[in-house]
Amino acid sequence: MATIDLLLVDARIATLRPDGTDYGIIEPGAVAVCDGRIAWLGPQQDLPTTPARETRSLDGRWITPALIDCHTHLVFGGDRAAEFERRLQGASYEQIAAAGGGILTTVQATRAASADDLFAAAMPRVQALAASGVATIEIKSGYGLDIANELKMLEVARRLGAASGLTVATTLLAAHAVPPEYRDDVDGYVDLICEELLPAVAEKNLADAVDAYCESFAFSSEQVARVFAKAQSLGLPLKLHADQLSDLGGAELAARFSALSADHLEYSSAAGIKALADSGTVAVLLPGAFLTLRETQQPPVALLRDHGVPIAVATDCNPGTSPLCSLPEAMALAARVFGLTPAECLAGTTREAARALGLAADRGTLEPGKRADIAVWDIEHPRDLCYWLGVRPLSHLLIAGRDINLTAS
Ligand code: NIG
Ligand code: FE
């Protein structure tokens, strides 16, 4: 090993390596970082005697892979607190959407906002996620719904990554809702996505993946299949909002296209879950949206486990269905409402979340060769991350081996 840039000693390590144990614990352990990557990691007693530029004792603190929020819509204009209140007075999400509210309210506000406004509004959400232990965030478009505004959203997402020091993975979600201009011509909007928007996004390298919302008041599976086929021909990986409010065969559709992930899945059938297992597609569970919509249909967790489908957990941070900017809180909710174990929740926000973004080779576990994205926690055991609500257990966050300044209040 060449000279070590940073040596972390006296740590308790949850590697999250898929070695059959829940957390992959090494205690007491040490980690050596070179050039932003993990060069060595293991029991403290086996530490090689290579010189280090900086050695830091963690005084027995726990470290895990930095968290990964693999599903957010955190770039948007305005908010939907008034809609939230209306829903609590009895109106349903579908009714509000059918009447031109819901996502379209945010579309109006997002179109009216400048890129700088969107950036300024989104940055505190990014900082709040970082302060909760997150180093990698996926951000979707989907509130622009025309060429200029979808591009604007993706550019803002890229800027957020560059300015924050976090990794931002961008996803084009133009097929999120039918824009008002195309209310009577949904296929015309799908044509616009396929013929103009997708080629423009690919040409500018603005999206790392493509997503769609397959739902009765959004896009049919045939329309999503057209978007997916075009995206695939441009080499873009796929994700899908699948079976959130009804079973339209979303899980099967995601599997048919070998999507990286199928997200929500409350109404997925047994056949859909089997298809996900066969295609290696990650199931992303979103307890914030489930709770905010006061859903009662649980995602089929037992089936996911039985079939060995990898399970990720994300915030779904968005103004309509999940105003949530803390990934440990999403874990705590997933444990309570979906019955995931604390180990599943932590794997779901590290190893499996990396896989849901196609980044598993680079991050998501603590292993030699992976990026030194490391969360340091003031906790007694990794299970504590799901136990407390309303505390911030993060001590500090290293991204590519460097301390990140957590400026969120
Ligand atoms: O993941 N399901 C669709 N998309 C978002 C909600 C977006 C919104 O309501 O603004 C979701 O829940
Ligand atoms: Fe979503």
CA 397 to chain centre: 18
The rounded Å distance from CA 330 to ligand 1 centre is: 16
**Length reported for the chain:** 409
**DSSP one-letter string for 345-363:** HHHHTTHHHHHHTT-TTTS
318, 322, 324: residue to mutate for ligand 1 pocket, most atoms within 8 A of CB: 318
The rounded Å distance from CA 266 to ligand 2 centre is: 13
Region class of 165: left (phi > 0), else alpha (psi between -120 and 50), else beta:
left
For the CA of 322, the nearest ligand? 1
Alpha helical stretches, state H, 42-179: 81-88, 93-98, 103-112, 115-131, 147-164
For the CA of 244, the nearest ligand? 1
Question: For residue 148, what pLDDT is reported?
Answer: 98
Angle subtended by helix axes 103-112 and 147-164, to nearest 10: 80
Q: Sort strands 62-65 and 4-14 into parallel, antiparallel or unpaired.
A: parallel
The rounded Å distance from CA 318 to ligand 2 centre is: 7
**DSSP one-letter string for 237-285:** -BEEEESSSS-SSHHHHHHHTT-SEEEE-TT--HHHHHHHHHHTPEEEE
pTM here?
0.97
The rounded Å distance from CA 322 to ligand 2 centre is: 8
103, 216, 217: residue to mutate for ligand 1 pocket, most atoms within 8 A of CB: 103
Nearest protein CA to atom 8 of ligand 1, as residue: 320
Torsion angle in degrees (nearest 10) through CA of 95, 97, 100, 105 = 130
Pocket of ligand 1 (CB under 6 A): 73, 102-103, 106, 213, 241, 244, 289, 316, 318-322
Q: How many CB atoms lie within 10 A of CB 18?
A: 15
- Tokens 């990554």 map to which residue? 161
The rounded Å distance from CA 368 to ligand 1 centre is: 37
Mean pLDDT per 10-residue interval, the chain, length 409 residues = 91 93 94 98 93 96 98 98 94 87 95 98 98 98 98 98 97 97 97 98 98 94 98 98 96 98 98 98 98 96 98 98 98 98 98 98 98 98 96 96 78
Cα 219 to Cα 71: distance, rounded to the nearest angstrom: 19
Question: For residue 222, what pLDDT is reported?
Answer: 97
**Vertex 252, ends 248 and 258: CA angle to 5°?**
135
Q: Sort strands 394-399 and 25-34 into parallel, antiparallel or unpaired.
A: unpaired
Please tell me whether the peptide bond between 28 and the residue prior to it is cis, using omega within 30 degrees of 0.
Answer: yes
CB distance 345 to 385 below 8 Å: yes
113-145 in b/e form (b: 16+ CB < 10 A) is: beeeebbebbbebbbbbbbbbbbbbbbbbbbbb
Question: For residue 409, what pLDDT is reported?
Answer: 40
Q: Tokens for 379?
A: 């906790």
**Vertex 44, ends 40 and 47: CA angle to 5°?**
50
